[in-house]
Amino acid sequence: MSTAQEFRLPDLGEGLTSADLVEWTVKIGETVALNQVLAQVETAKALVELPSPYVGVVRELLVEPGTTVPVGTPIIRIEGPTDPRDPQSPNVLVGYGPTAEQPSRRRSRIAPHPHPRPTPERRPATPSARRAAREAGVDLSEIPGSGFDGAVTAADVADALRSKAPPKEATQSASSGIVKPPAESGMRKQMASAMVASTRAPQASVFLTADVTASTELLSRLRSSDAFSGLSLTPLTLAAKALVTAIASHPMVNAHWDEARGDAVIDDHVNLGIAVAAERGLSVPNIKSAETLNLVQLARAVTELTVAARAGVTDVHHLTGGTVTITNVGVFGVDGGIPLLNPGEAVILCLGSVSERPWVIERKIEVRSVVTLTLTFDHRVLSGEQAARFLSFVAQMLADPDLLLSHL
């Protein structure tokens, strides 16, 4: 017995409500395996490959490449065997459910033709270039490509737009004198939406400046060891380990507010979000079950995740389900900051720059490595006392890494 299952565009995380279908990697009539990549989609933050939750034969491709698709919209129909003893859930990936809107273009059901029709050659271009060209309404065939094999890049599209644009970026109405700024990009709009969602939670912040000289010395020793060869070992890595370790004795930090219940719910695993600044903007991919990783494994996970995020190719698995987040403004030479919560999470830890400063030790002034830590928290989930105690414990482990290592 067989049945046709519709695969819907899953929730791609960070409050994103839609994605552009870049290309299909399967064809009608092709047999697909579980977790085989079906298509590549592009959000405002990254290129994402969509794995198949089903085993079977592709019967219909319901969306054409280049279409902007809302989350929850059926995009492909796969027919496969059904075993009542081992049913496959249509909700293998997150983000399923009804959708109130249709794709921005008219949806086409792409069915096989008895006589295949020739298709015009597609101009080589990167996905981000195609997206930029669509948003600007320009023809890619008219833009010289500087990428590999003459492919058009996003920079090429930007150069073409600049050459056609008037001298001034903003336009002014002669009658009203109002200056109109250029339209916002999709990425900036998504960031704005996420920040609005974040501010719906009552947030507060606590600060603490700590002497982390012992931690910096430990990092220097570890970097020369074979275990960390090729890995990025930074103050962020150690702070992330301290954050995850401290949650074991402060479980409410790893909770979220459930509106339906009107109460906080503690999450089973620590999915640690790492705020990554990339060319496309800020993204927060997360490391699943970070509490199960030792320092070497965590350093490897942080390295792999940040490299993928900066390249814009983060796997969809890492873009959803985060429970806590850490961000590092110290890499920009900033002493500290007050971060906003990642929507749906109870805390975010901000790490400032580690710098040498005069520090009083036993009534004597010494030069020490010092850092400012900021913890922003959801006041519905945590009290000020709970947040302060948690931040103090994290700082203690960074000031005395032997305390941190004793928990490994």
Planar angle of CA 187, 244, 231, nearest 5 degrees: 70
Please state, in angstroms and rounded to a whole number, the distance separating the CA atoms of residues 117 and 57: 22
Looking at domain 202-405, what is its CATH homologous superfamily?
Answer: Chloramphenicol acetyltransferase-like domain (3.30.559.10)
- CATH no. for 1-119: 2.40.50.100
User: Cα dist. 222→192, 235, 238, 301, 405 in Å?
Assistant: 39, 12, 11, 17, 12
Cα distances from 119 to residues 41, 122, 140, 222, in angstroms, run 22, 8, 17, 57
pTM value surpassing 0.75: no
Task: Give which of 271, 300, 306, 299 is closest to 287, Cα–Cα.
Answer: 271
Cα 203–chain centre separation: 22
Tens place of pLDDT for every residue, the chain, 408 residues?
A: 668 899 999 887 656 678 888 889 999 999 999 888 899 887 766 678 888 999 999 999 999 988 888 988 999 999 987 544 444 444 344 333 333 344 443 333 333 434 443 434 456 766 556 656 765 677 777 888 766 557 676 667 766 766 665 544 444 444 444 444 444 444 555 566 666 666 678 999 999 999 999 999 999 999 888 888 888 889 999 999 999 999 999 999 999 998 888 899 999 999 999 999 877 678 889 999 999 999 999 999 998 888 888 877 777 778 888 999 999 999 899 999 999 998 889 999 999 999 999 999 989 999 999 999 999 999 999 999 999 999 999 999 999 998 887 765
Cα–Cα distance measured from residue 78 to residue 51, given in angstroms and rounded to the nearest whole number: 13
Smallest CA-to-CA distance from 279 within 138, 154, 394 is with 154
Q: How far apart (Å, rounded) are the C-alpha atoms in residues 247 and 232?
A: 23
Which residues are catalytically annotated? 379
Sign of CA dihedral 158, 164, 169, 170: negative
State how far the Cα of 355 lies from the Cα of 341, in Å rounded to an integer: 26
Contact 351, 369 (CB under 8 A): no
Count of C-beta atoms within a 10 Å radius of residue 171:
11
Q: How far lies 23's CA from each of 42, 126, 190, 315, 319, in Å?
A: 10, 11, 22, 16, 20
Domain ranges of the chain: 1-119, 135-170, 202-405
